[in-house]
Chain A
Amino acid sequence: MDVDDEDLFETDGMNLTWPGKSLTSAQEYMRGHGTYVDNEEVIASVSGIVERVNKLITVRAVRTRYNPEVGDLVVGRITEVQPRRWKVDGNSRQDAVLMLSSVNLPGGVQRRKVESDELQMRSFFEEGDLLVAEVQAFFGDGTMSLHTRSLSYGKLRNGQLVTVPPILIRRLKSHFISLPCGVDLILGLNGYIWVSKHIKENEREGEEAFDAEAVYSNRNDVIDDSTRLAISRVTNLINVLASRSIPLTDTVLLDAYDWSLEQEGDVKDLLQEDAGDALVATILAKG
């Protein structure tokens, strides 16, 4: 074994690195995320891909917790109810914060916050509820501040949550995807994916009728068996793709769903090793 093998290992032009690898001289380059400076050398601290932009060297980790940016769409679960805010678990380094002033209150989108709202916070969101929100800002220590001030955000129901590594979710134009089988997907950038029964466009709440009963209700609609089967199928496909580290985009999921409809056997057979291999081979051939 060659003990002196210190060259950057290249894969298709990408430079891979590992913790402790010296990248370059600190005199010529500035260090970015994923690196540190020691003795006038820039050294990588995570394993991943080296990226260089002009004079800035960063290492993008190939596997890490979710790194939030302002404007990201995330799916989260309420962990705590505190005075005038909720704590939301968003698969990140710290729990995110959802302020009471950042949610839509029943009775109109522009309604001002009243004291009685502060006392009734659990009637909006309780511990364990799932919601979809957008990252509004950051606190000083990197904690995300979320908001649900749009009619497409808010509490989630009629579906199932799937967790995948966050790097597999790319930033898309729209994270709300409708599959042709009557299943809606919300791809949270933090790796939480919500698979649910399809809601027709005209059934969504309009501006005037912002009905608290409907929006913050905890009751699921009636879901028929074929929709349940479709939801399970999509969930299994997502789990299989995530275990093989295939990025999840709408085209990949559509292709995977079409492929799985052609297969014989139960929905649960998708989780077998050989089914997974065949699925991945099909997806890679198309991609």
Chain B
Amino acid sequence: MSSRIEILNTGGYRSDGRRQYELRTISIDLSPQGSGADGCASLTHGLTQVNVCVFGPREAKIRSQTYHDRANVNIEVAIATFSASERRKRGRGDKRILELSQTLKSTFEPVIQTSLYPRSQIDIHIQVLQQDGGLLQACINATTLALANAGIPLYDFVCAVTGGVHSTSPLLDLTLLEENDLPNVTVAVMPRSGKVTVVSMETRLHVDRFEEIFRLAGEAAKVIHVDMKKAVRDRTEQLVASMQSVGRPPTGVDIGDEY
């Protein structure tokens, strides 16, 4: 049973009070989560919340999966049973989850400089805690932040956003309600070059509408990049400040007798 909620009312407001091109509130937390991970990130887009932990590069657990000239990137996604409005347990072999993992793997393999780490493995564990639309978008953004937090060399950030169209009006950053009703596409770009790394759509969209949505989503992703950049910068500044607070700045080998 669905109630008739207006996707976009005549005043230009959406069901959650946003305007047409307005993005949801982003909150980013890069502090360590106590799991011993090399890097972790917790990201929310409005009500969608995703945690990512990155381990690596480290010795591969399964020898047969290593490459002699580069690192193997391994992505595991776990969706919490309480994340959606209906409680549902999804096993690791669930097709939707496997598809999501595969998309993420092919997104990040060209972005991580894997050739620097032969015979190693990078493990990325994604946990979805709350879903309110934009799952792939949140996973991509959170994974980028966790990788940057772990000190793994990347060619650039990867920033993603969803876009949809409601009878000729384009909308950005869709909630679950809007995703279920409207044709929508997820676009991920690398902001410095503007190159698009992921375009993912599971609905039908008229070709005349596609170009506008695609272009808008690309620009919106650059705006998200600003938030992500700021979070990484603040965290780096915090760490540098703590590390320099004692003794001399870390410039390498000690002479030894300062203390």
Write the residues of chain A forming the contact surface with B, with a CB cutoff of 8 angstroms: 1, 3, 5, 9, 11-12, 14, 16, 18-22, 34, 36, 38, 43, 45-49, 61-65, 79, 89, 93-95, 141-142, 163, 167-168, 170-173, 243-247, 249-252, 283-284, 287
Q: Do A19 and B246 touch (CB < 8 A)? A: no
Residues of A within 8 A of B117 (CB): 93
Q: A16-B237, A251-B247 are in contact. Are A246 and B242 (CB under 8 A)?
A: yes
Residues of B within 8 A of A64 (CB): 150-151
Residues of B within 8 A of A94 (CB): 57-59, 119-120
Residues of B within 8 A of A167 (CB): 243, 250
Write the residues of chain B forming the contact surface with A, with a CB cutoff of 8 angstroms: 32, 36, 38-39, 56-59, 113, 117-120, 148-157, 190-193, 222-223, 226-227, 229, 232-233, 235-247, 250, 252-254, 256-257, 259
Which residue from A45, A141, A252 sits with its C-beta under 8 Å from B113? A45
Which residue from A16, A36, A65, A284 sits with its C-beta under 8 Å from B233? A16
A-B contact pairs, 8 of them (CB 8 A): A12-B244, A16-B237, A20-B190, A36-B113, A49-B240, A63-B149, A63-B150, A245-B239
With both beta carbons as reference points, the residue of chain B lying nearest to A95 in the complex is identified as B59
Q: Do A89 and B59 touch (CB < 8 A)? A: yes
**What is the CA–CA distance of A246 and B233 in the complex, to the nearest angstrom?**
19
Q: Do A19 and B250 touch (CB < 8 A)? A: no
Q: Do B153 and A62 touch (CB < 8 A)? A: no
Q: A20-B190, A45-B113, A287-B247 are in contact. Are A170 and B254 (CB under 8 A)?
A: yes
Q: A89-B59, A93-B120, A287-B245 are in contact. Are A14 and B113 (CB under 8 A)?
A: no
Q: Do B240 and A62 touch (CB < 8 A)? A: yes
Q: Do A246 and B245 touch (CB < 8 A)? A: yes
Residues of A within 8 A of B58 (CB): 65, 93-94
Q: Do B236 and A16 touch (CB < 8 A)? A: yes
Q: Do B38 and A65 touch (CB < 8 A)? A: yes
**What is the CA–CA distance of A283 and B243 in the complex, to the nearest angstrom?**
12
Q: Do A19 and B119 touch (CB < 8 A)? A: no
Besides A19-B157, A246-B245, A249-B246, 8 more A-B contacts (Cβ < 8 Å) are: A11-B240, A21-B192, A38-B193, A47-B149, A93-B58, A141-B118, A167-B250, A246-B243
Q: Do B236 and A48 touch (CB < 8 A)? A: yes
With both beta carbons as reference points, the residue of chain B lying nearest to A248 in the complex is identified as B246
**What is the CA–CA distance of A251 and B256 in the complex, to the nearest angstrom?**
12
Q: Do B153 and A251 touch (CB < 8 A)? A: no
Residues of A within 8 A of B193 (CB): 38
Q: Do B149 and A46 touch (CB < 8 A)? A: no
Residues of A within 8 A of B233 (CB): 9, 16, 18, 47
Residue of B149, B227, B238, B247 ringed by the most chain A CB atoms within 10 A = B247
**What is the CA–CA distance of A21 and B190 in the complex, to the nearest angstrom?**
12
Q: Smallest CB–CB gap between A132 and chain B, Å?
A: 19
Q: Smallest CB–CB gap between B168 and chain A, Å?
A: 27
Q: Do B237 and A287 touch (CB < 8 A)? A: no
Q: Do A65 and B247 touch (CB < 8 A)? A: no
Q: A141-B119, A284-B245 are in contact. Are A47 and B250 (CB under 8 A)?
A: no
**What is the CA–CA distance of A20 and B222 in the complex, to the nearest angstrom?**
13
Q: Do A171 and B192 touch (CB < 8 A)? A: no
With both beta carbons as reference points, the residue of chain A lying nearest to B191 in the complex is identified as A20
Residue of A5, A14, A22, A46 ringed by the most chain B CB atoms within 10 A = A46
**What is the CA–CA distance of A287 and B190 in the complex, to the nearest angstrom?**
42
**What is the CA–CA distance of A18 and B150 in the complex, to the nearest angstrom?**
12
With both beta carbons as reference points, the residue of chain A lying nearest to B259 in the complex is identified as A251
